[in-house]
Each structure stands twice: as structure tokens, then as C-alpha cells.
Structure 1
């Protein structure tokens, strides 16, 4: 699998995925960089830890890799934005991404939660497809599955 991962690409410290199925390793690499525990880690290094294949990455693979990276992962589900505000931690999130053209179905995707601005009701994410993104609370509610793997950041 690692042979298929492309040359590392970083935009504003967001690790960009180089294959259609490495969103989780790229997002975990972004979180590891963000936490400053692994400031130079790459998508390819995390692919080895998650055991990602051409079908993607399992949640268990994500958690195991995050443990190996000393990110102290804590899996939670059935969460709300208010829960994320209260927990106040960076996290790997499972979301429903729209195709770039806006047409067609959504697809399962993983992104890094980097911050929440409660005053302006905005959520800052590291999206391995596009780089840094800002979503309104309304947009985020439709986007997110309610699952998070929180880290100590």
C-alpha cells in the first residue's frame, strides 16, 4: 500500500491526501503535527500505522495508530457541536463530504477538527482534500456523523 502513496504535500500545515483512500492517515498526520508531538510526520508514515488499504481505514486502525503516536485517542459517538465545545479537544472526525462539483452523492471522509469559534459559530477543520476549511455550525451539522476520536492536543 505505501508504494501507492504520493509525494508528501502540506498546505498551511494540513497534510493533503495523495490517494482516494488515505483521508484518515492524512488527517491523523495533521493532528500529530498540530499537537507538536510529531511535527514532521507524513501521510505515508501514518498509512503504515493504520494499515490503510485501497478500501480505506477502519476506525480501529485509526485508534491504534493514534495510540502509537501517543495522541491518547478517545472515541466518542452520538455527539453534538455543544459536546465538541465542552470537550474542547482536537479530533479526527468522520464526515459526509460533497463532491467538488456539488453534484451526486456524498462520500465518507475523515477530517481533523482544529478549533471552534463559539462567538462566530464557526468550525475550523483540516480537510485532506482541500486544506484548511471553515464551516458554519449549520453546515457542520449536515456534514458530520457525530463521531469523534479526540486527542490530547
Structure 2
């Protein structure tokens, strides 16, 4: 009998990964504050939760993707370069690029909510939208081959 996995928040993602033997490496509260100070903004709560649970690494979850603390400071400049080179529409002025895969796919959210929508864009111009940051993070479990998620 197959059990249905319910993933309702970032804490459930972390719990699931730990249960699969993944070693999660959290950011410190000071590191999260340093990000906010550097970018002169207040990060959404869901993103802070992600950082405080696994912001420096999460085993094979999102391995090979630039999403962890050491990369975050440069992602906006990489995205802007790709946008210029590919003649894409500029990012909104309040966009925060938090995710990059192999230099040609980027994800950002716009400030203004604790669980903002996420836009993923490819250098080809393709765009994928997620209703919330949490839905994006949950989808990464599926894309990384961990689970088929219901709900």
C-alpha cells in the first residue's frame, strides 16, 4: 500500500529530507541578517525558513543548483548578464534572484509577501510561474527525483 506524502511547509521538506538521510546545513540567523543588510530588504518568511533549515546545503536536494548561501550574493548579477545577452525583458526592480541552474535558468520572487509567487525564466525566454515560493521549493522535491507529491 502506498502512503501519501503530505508536504505542507518548508519544515515538512526539511523533515522529509532528514528522514531520507540528508544532512541539512542551516544558515545562522546572523547570515540571514547579513543577506537582508546586503540587499537592503526584508526577506519573505518562507525564504528565511528555508535558509535557517538548509540554507548552506541539503544533501542531494537541489545539488548542482546555485541556491545556497555562498552563491546568493552573485545570482542577481548573473541573471542580469543573461538577460542582457539574451535580450530578455528586464527583471522587476524589486526582484530577488534566489536560484540558478547551470547558468541558463533563474528563479526570482518579488518582495511584498511572506510566501511570494516565483517566476522561473530561461535564457530562451520561456517563463514558468509558481503561485508561491513554498510551491516552488516543494516542486524541487519532485524534480530532484525524491517523491511524487500529492496536494
TM, length-normalised to structure 2: 0.28
Q: Which has the higher helix share?
A: 2
TM, length-normalised to structure 1: 0.27
Higher relative contact order (Cα pairs below 8 Å, separated by 6+ residues) = 1
Q: Which has the higher strand share?
A: 1
